[in-house]
Amino acid sequence: MPVSKTAASRRRISKKKSSEKNPPGKSSTYKRSSQVHQDMLRDPHLSFARAIRKRKVDRRTVLHHIGSQFEKDSSGRIKARPKGRKQQILYIPGFEPGQEIPVSTKNARERRVVGRWMAALNAAGRNDFSRIDKFPRNKSIGGVRLPTSRKEVQSILEALADKGSPFEGLYRTLARPS
């Protein structure tokens, strides 16, 4: 007589998480759902209903897979949230007086690195180059390399001194007096 499994063990074996059956990166419905989101970001006038009809995917499927990437506006329409919500632009001083270089940061870790670099630059302005020497070389954030050699740091400090007014800081606004 063959050995039969208990009902409980059969249930455990057959119960698989939905993510194990169809991982989000492999599912065609997930890909089409993300395409709906991309279409809506590309064309702000495209409605949610037209976008799902265009990609031939059900509304519930899209909201199940990537529901957090959509929001309802005041009129009740479903709109796509922009992707780079956590992106923030910091400004570091440049090599010429008054020049400010925008650094696009994606997360808090990158913003901390830029802040540490700025603190090391300020310490170098007080003739303490030990912090800038400890800073990692060729560190690039958002496509902008943070200058770490003594020669580059010295030219930035000279540009700040020639500017006359102090540097406005990392989180400056775009509004300037004209």
Read off the amino acid at residue 100. Answer: E
Q: How high does pLDDT run on average in the chain?
A: 81
CA distance 3 to 162: 87
Domain extents in the chain: 23-80, 88-163
For 149-158, what is each residue's pLDDT tens digit?
999 999 998 8
Looking at the chain, list the stretches that DSSP marks H as alpha helix, in order from N- to C-terminal side: 7-14, 18-21, 28-42, 48-55, 59-66, 108-125, 130-134, 150-163
pLDDT at 174: 43
Q: Which positions of the chain have pLDDT values less than 70?
A: 1-26, 84-85, 164-178
For 123-174, what is each residue's pLDDT tens digit?
998 999 999 999 999 899 988 999 999 999 999 988 888 876 555 565 554 4
CA distance 91 to 100: 6
